[in-house]
């Protein structure tokens, strides 16, 4: 995917983070426990951080003229698995979703590691 597409992916994930946070704070507040609302808040917060990271990484890849596909893909998959599993856990109360969350967390960590190594090995002077 090109830079424009990745920026749109990041923006869409940021948008859904805001929507999910607002939905929980208003529509679900009366039906979910404080614990469940905190789980959704954590998911939305991490989703926003990493959605913005996708946008930033896209701009960095353009500036440094390097491909950061692995980083962007890991951020995207990490958001889906980490935040998505937290949303589902909070809304459905199905505890097995908690087993998916660490996989998403590891993908987010892998994305940061991938970014570090990709930038360090880049043959560029900025």
Q: Which of 67, 75, 17 is nearest to 45 (CA)?
A: 17
For residue range 38-84, what is the model confidence (pLDDT) as tens digits? 999 999 999 999 999 999 999 999 888 899 999 999 999 999 999 99
Please say whether the beta carbons of 103 and 45 come within 8 A.
no
**Domain ranges, ordered by start, for the chain:** 3-119
Predicted confidence at residue 126, as pLDDT, reads 59
Q: Which of 86, 87, 109 is nearest to 98 (CA)?
A: 86
Radius of gyration of the chain (CA): 16
pTM: 0.93
Predicted confidence at residue 1, as pLDDT, reads 85
């Amino acid at each position: 995917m090109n830079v424009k597409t990745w920026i749109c992916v990041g923006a869409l994930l940021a948008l859904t983070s805001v929507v999910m946070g607002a939905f929980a704070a208003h529509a679900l507040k009366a039906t979910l426990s404080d614990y469940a609302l905190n789980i959704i808040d954590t998911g939305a917060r991490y989703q926003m951080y990493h959605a913005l990271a996708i946008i930033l990484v896209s701009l960095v890849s353009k500036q440094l003229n390097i491909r950061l596909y692995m980083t962007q893909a890991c951020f995207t998959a990490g958001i889906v698995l980490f935040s998505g599993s937290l949303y589902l856990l909070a809304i459905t109360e199905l505890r097995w979703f908690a087993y998916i969350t660490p996989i998403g967390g590891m993908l987010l960590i892998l994305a940061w590691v991938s970014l570090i190594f990709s930038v360090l090995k880049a043959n560029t002077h900025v």
